[in-house]
Structures are given as C-alpha cells and as structure tokens.
Amino acid sequence: MTRRITLALTGASGAPYALRLLECLVQADYQVFVLASSAARVVLKTEQGIDWPASPQALSQQLCADYGAREGQIVACGKEEWFSPVASGSAAPKQMVICPCSMGAVSAIAHGASDNLIERAADVVIKERGQLILVPRESPFSPIHLENMLSLSRIGVTIMPAAPGFYHQPQSVGDLVDFMVARILDHLGIEHQLMQRWGYQKQ
Ligand SMILES: Cc1cc2nc3c(=O)[nH]c(=O)nc-3n(C[C@H](O)[C@H](O)[C@H](O)COP(=O)(O)O)c2cc1C
C-alpha cells in the first residue's frame, strides 16, 4: 500500500524547503496531499518566482508533471475542501508536515481553530495521535510564539525550526536547504542521502 502524507505550506519564509521536501517525498514513493495557504502562494512567488494555479486540479497536474510523479501521487487540495481525505480522521494520512509554518498557523493550530483545511488537517492528526511536524520560521520569537510552540510540543507535536546548521560546511543555499529537509526526513523515517551524518564527516 502506498504510504501517504500531508504537506502544508503556510506563509512563513522558506518555500525552498517545501519544494525540496515534496521532491524527496515523491522519490520515496509517498502519495502527497499538498495544501497551500494564500500567504504561502505569495511567499512562493516572492522567493521562487513560482505562480501556482488556483485550481486544485490544475495544481495537482502541474506538480505531478514537475516532480515526475505518477498520476494521483500528488493531490492538491483547496483551502475549504472539507471533503478532502485530510479533513477526517477516518481517511487522513497519519503523518503531516507544515513547512514552512507561519506564526499565525502555529497559533491557530495550538488553539484548535480548524478554520481552513490546513488547520483542520493538523487538528485531525493531533486528535488521531499521528505525527505532526511543524517547521516554523520567525526571528525573534515573541513570548506568544514560544508559548504556542511549547503547548504543541507538550502534546507531542515536533517543533523543528527552519534553522540549518553549518557544521556540514555548506557550499550553497541548496546544501542549507538539504540540511533541514534531511532532518525532517529523519523524523518521518524516510531513508535519504542528503547529507553526511554527524560523526561520519571527513575531518
Ligand atoms: C514574503 C513573506 C514572508 C513572510 N515571512 C514570514 C515568516 O518568516 N514567519 C511568519 O510567521 N510570517 C511570515 N510572513 C507573514 C505571514 O505570511 C502572514 O502572517 C500570514 O497571515 C500567514 O498566513 P497563513 O498562516 O495562513 O499562511 C511573511 C509574509 C510574506 C509575504
């Protein structure tokens, strides 16, 4: 059976992490449900010059073509598509990553708002005791941000800030992106060769 995962993009800086993660998930033969907030689309355009089509069907087709995915392997969902599998505990993938994750999304999820499909999908993963990984980005964090992240961490949500290390001697922005994506894949239990592991580097 194909493994399934939900990947949500929200309006924090860091679109390259999401695109690289999507590529890796497709290569790992996951079926990926892709959700993007309106702000995420603005960030994608600003950071990557990419304009995703508004229609979920058109976006699904485009992403499948862009990432060499099988038909139906990438399923884009609209922000109020309440009949999507990700909206119900009876059908949602047990794993979800929000990358990048805005402080607004952190707050909404910490308070159970469920006001759009991203918030609802996260709420479902939490209630079903699945694996939810947030990749927040902001600097500095305010006490509100920190308290919201702490309450999520306390109930088992993984808070993995977009904070790449430099000890693998990155030569490019791509190396920094891969650092973060490698750590996300590690937590999802997906094999990868994106970077050398600590203790195995050339000295
Ligand atoms: C180019 C750009 C970069 C942004 N970077 C961040 C960021 O790093 N962190 C953050 O929390 N919000 C950031 N924002 C603001 C969020 O996009 C904004 O709060 C938005 O309402 C979040 O909505 P969403 O959670 O539905 O995606 C950024 C906005 C833009 C346009």
pLDDT in tens, 26-61: 999 999 999 999 999 999 999 999 999 999 999 999
Q: Which residue has the higher pLDDT, 195 or 121?
A: 121
Q: Are 5 and 25 in contact (CB under 8 A)?
A: yes
Regarding beta strands 74-77 and 95-101, do their DSSP bridges make them parallel or antiparallel, or are they unpaired?
Answer: unpaired
How far is CA 200 from each of CA 56, 70, 195, rounded to the nearest angstrom?
Answer: 43, 35, 10
- Given this model, what pLDDT does residue 196 score? 83
Q: Give the CA angle between residues 5, 153, 178 to the nearest 5°.
A: 50
Rounded to the nearest 10 degrees, how much is the dihedral formed by the CA atoms of 166, 138, 62, 172?
A: -20
SS3 178: helix
Determine how many CB atoms are found less than 10 A away from the CB of residue 131. 17
CA of 71 to the centre of ligand 1 (A): 31
Share of residues in the chain with pLDDT > 70 (%)? 98
Residues 6+ away with beta carbon under 8 Å from 13: 43, 47, 100, 137, 162
Average pLDDT over residues 76-90: 97
pTM over 0.75: yes
148 burial type by CB count under 10 A (0-12 exposed, 13-18 middle, 19+ buried):
buried
Average pLDDT score, the chain? 96
Q: Are 111 and 119 in contact (CB under 8 A)?
A: no
Rounded to the nearest 10 degrees, how much is the dihedral formed by the CA atoms of 67, 82, 97, 193?
A: -30
Q: Which of 38, 43, 109, 159 to mutate to test the pocket of ligand 1 (most atoms within 8 A of CB)?
A: 43
Q: What does the block give as tokens for 122? A: 């996260």
Q: Which of 79, 102, 107 to mutate to test the pocket of ligand 1 (most atoms within 8 A of CB)?
A: 102
Determine how many CB atoms are found less than 10 A away from the CB of residue 94. 16
Ligand 1 shell residues, CB under 6 Å: 10-13, 37, 39-40, 42-43, 46, 102-105, 137-138
- Given this model, what pLDDT does residue 201 score? 66
Q: What is the pLDDT of residues 146-197, one digit of tens each?
A: 999 999 999 999 999 999 999 999 999 999 999 999 999 999 999 999 988 8
Q: Which of 9, 13, 107, 145 to mutate to test the pocket of ligand 1 (most atoms within 8 A of CB)?
A: 13
pLDDT of 78 strictly over 80? yes
pLDDT of 1 strictly over 70? no
Nearest residue CA, atom 2 of ligand 1? 43
CA of 179 to the centre of ligand 1 (A): 22
User: CA 11 to CA 44: how far, in whole Å?
Assistant: 9
User: CA 112 to CA 120: how far, in whole Å?
Assistant: 8
- Given this model, what pLDDT does residue 93 score? 98
Provide the pLDDT confidence category of residue 202 given band limits of 50, 70 and 90.
Answer: low
